[in-house]
Chains A and B, each alone.
Chain A
């Protein structure tokens, strides 16, 4: 027994994760070479910061999305929450509410939206796709109603500092992202709650019979989804210092893309949240690199689409082989 498990340990350092990291590095190298061939530079400190900064919003929202997808669900409402947080937070700021309080209020809003989503999915038994498709429309509509569809701008400069302040030359948003990931990786791997999320996605019946309060826990996943979406919304609002009711539209797709590129199965129960960060960075790298290369925006979309499919195709190699 001991012998076998040792060699298994070694070979199972998780080939899939390894492939993902290699893929990320390959994309990086490709861009470095391509850019230098066209007389531009990709690997500069400025670019790297830019990539991470740009990916930060998607990466943060993707934490919540990963949890939801791990339980076997999906949350389409995250993009609209970003827009909502921008306008609602913006209006509150304009009304003179202190910044920290505004942040607190919008985070709670995110949780409430997530709670509502989760309630209908777990207790209401409505498919997650449909609940969040509906709430996406509702929230977007609400956002439009709040300020009759107009953007909000002219914020105090302290708003910018929320994510743009620098600690030893590093934008604080980058530190936030890594910190949030570190916390959530620990939660998912090392706490009972994390195991429960995985178990529900793997087999909800078995989890229930093992004493897991499946409905409450499933609902909690959506609360996380809403919470991280609103954190992403604060990031965006702070970075742009400008709130557009249409901001965040389509983010849900980028976020889901980041999660699946990271290797989390849409069917739930399998995958690691840390890889979602790599998935987000791959997406960010593609967008940034293609822009530097002056690739027309339509082609960028095509290339990103291909990447998503290829990533999951490669991820499924083992399953195909097993057949």
Chain B
């Protein structure tokens, strides 16, 4: 891809971007959120139209008009949000649009047999008749890959493929990627996880602000160097000393909380000025625990105390009044109203603040602008629709709307998932500022580096229970946390 330019509503998103992938290589595409990676990929697959520039496939210029043309030419993209129909079986998904027919009717037998063959090839061991909705994220991903492999495959793009899958599943995925590589497929790999880039990648192209920065061979570079290229500065990963903790004051205390089978008799507390981490695998019940605390789910038993006072009727409106807030892991589904403006999103939980008899629009606007500046939210306007912002900036809007409440306890659920290094650091800064002003934070995270860097204590959840709470001192390692997260510390 050469000299690709693209602008949305007059804003340049790509400026002379370029990318060159060789057959049989894993080419990592790296850059902060909003650097233009996704846009570049969408232009490749012709989901977006480019303003100018050329795309060459095996030396010949190609001009795809529809994603289907791109797929027919052997360019396949597997997005983070899968393009699968959850209500139909695997085999129908695999052959969607390429059904085998016999006398004009679908030949189910043949379709199923063919599906099984291609699934075997990549080691997906499930019945092809299983509904896609019943599969795990990793399995869905494999279905997507199977689908891609069915045609002639020259370029495969994997967009954040490991964001939602476990380590074992990642190993599986890498095996498949290596096999594809051996077959001469060019693979474009987008990920923020530095460690795995070095494990799987050959070369790496770094983008920043829609521009091409550099293409490097991964063997000849380091994490630090890549980070510097991405953000233009280096980022630290050392734990900071927190001297804001007020040992005597418990801001939030939870005792004996139960919810269905997912949260079992959980007790925890967080002190003023403290960051409590909650580690654990996806599905360990961390999000459910948080939602029980704020009352989005109704716990069967247990109590929630704020500043030593028990909340009588735990429901969201009450917990917000008690200044306990939850920042969802799912920005798009639970964090933001994507079709509404940044200002309206920030105002939503704070409307009573802007109300005398009627809402004061001017005040809403000025507060929105204040937070846009304070959190350095990159947006074309204070009332731009939330879905026009990049992931990191969307997350900042979510934070802004809760900062505005001036809460005492913030529950951050995966605050930096899918967010680039630069924005990540800014979010950490915000969290530090919060605790230095006397707030308390509970941080749910799957990123152990982040847990170790940020938290004062770490509670590890396993199958709905808190198995152990560590003080985060020099002796705490990722391995220790993992052993509790994986098998509850019994091994």
Binds B, one of A109-117, A166-174, A198-206, A240-248: A198-206
- Chain A, residue nearest B331 (CB): A206
Q: Give the residues from 73 to 122 in chain A that come closer than 8 angstroms, CB to CB, to chain B.
A: none
In the complex, A4 has a CB within 8 A of chain B: yes
Show 27 residue pairs from A and B whose CB-CB distance is below 8 angstroms, ordered by the A residue. A1-B372, A1-B382, A4-B381, A5-B383, A8-B381, A186-B358, A189-B359, A190-B361, A192-B355, A195-B359, A198-B344, A202-B337, A202-B339, A202-B340, A203-B336, A203-B338, A203-B339, A205-B333, A207-B348, A208-B296, A209-B294, A209-B316, A209-B335, A211-B349, A269-B337, A270-B339, A322-B8
Q: A5-B382, A190-B359 are in contact. List 4 more A-B contacts (CB 8 A).
A: A4-B381, A5-B383, A190-B361, A203-B334
Binding site for B on A (CB under 8 A): 1, 4-5, 8-9, 12, 186, 189-192, 195-196, 198-199, 202-203, 205-213, 269-270, 322
- B352 to A192, Cβ gap below 8 A? yes
Q: Is the CB of B296 within 8 A of A209?
A: yes
Give the residue name and chain of the A residue nearest to B9 (CB).
A322
Binary per-residue interface labels of chain B (338-360) against chain A in the complex, 1 for a CB within 8 Å, 0 otherwise = 11100010011101100100110
Nearest CB of chain B from residue A213's CB, rounded to whole Å: 7
Query: Which chain B positions have C-beta within 8 A of A5?
Result: 369, 381-383
Q: Which residues on the A side are within 8 Å of B382 (C-beta)?
A: 1, 5
* Residue of chain B at shortest CB distance from A267: B339
- A-B contact number at CB 8 A: 86
| Cβ distance B452 to chain A, nearest Cβ, rounded Å | 28
Q: Cβ of A202: which chain B residues have Cβ within 8 Å of it?
A: 337-340
Q: How many residues of B contact A (CB 8 A)?
A: 35
Is B326 an interface residue when CB atoms closer than 8 A count as contact? yes
Could you tell me the dominant secondary structure of chain A's interface residues?
helix
Task: For the complex formed, measure the closest distance between the CB of A7 and the CB atoms of chain B, giving whole angstroms.
Answer: 9
Bound complex: CA A190 to CA B351 (Å): 10
- Complex contact B336–A206 (CB within 8 A): yes
B residues touching A (Cβ–Cβ < 8 Å)?
8, 294, 296, 316-317, 320, 326, 328, 333-340, 344, 347-349, 351-352, 355, 358-359, 361, 369, 372-373, 380-384, 401
Residue of A191, A207, A209, A213 with highest tally of chain B CB at under 10 A: A209
- What are the residues of chain A within 8 A of B328 when measuring CB–CB? 206, 209
Q: Are A205 and B334 in contact (CB under 8 A)?
A: yes
Q: Which of A9, A191, A207 contacts B337 (CB 8 A)?
A: A207
A206 and B317 contact, CB distance less than 8 A: no
* B347 touching A206, Cβ below 8 Å: no
- Our pick among B8, B316, B337, B359 for the contact of A203 (Cβ within 8 Å) is B337
* Contact assessment for B296 and A1 in the assembled complex, using a CB-CB cutoff below 8 Å: no
Q: Could you tell me the distance between the alpha carbons of A208 and B317 in the complex, rounded to whole angstroms?
A: 9
Residues of A contacting B348 with CB < 8 Å? 195, 199, 206-207, 210, 212
Tell whether, in the assembled complex, residue B369 and residue A206 are in contact, meaning their CB atoms are under 8 Å apart: no
Q: Top 4 closest A-B pairs, CB basis?
A: A202-B337, A8-B381, A210-B349, A190-B358
A40 to chain B, nearest CB (A): 45
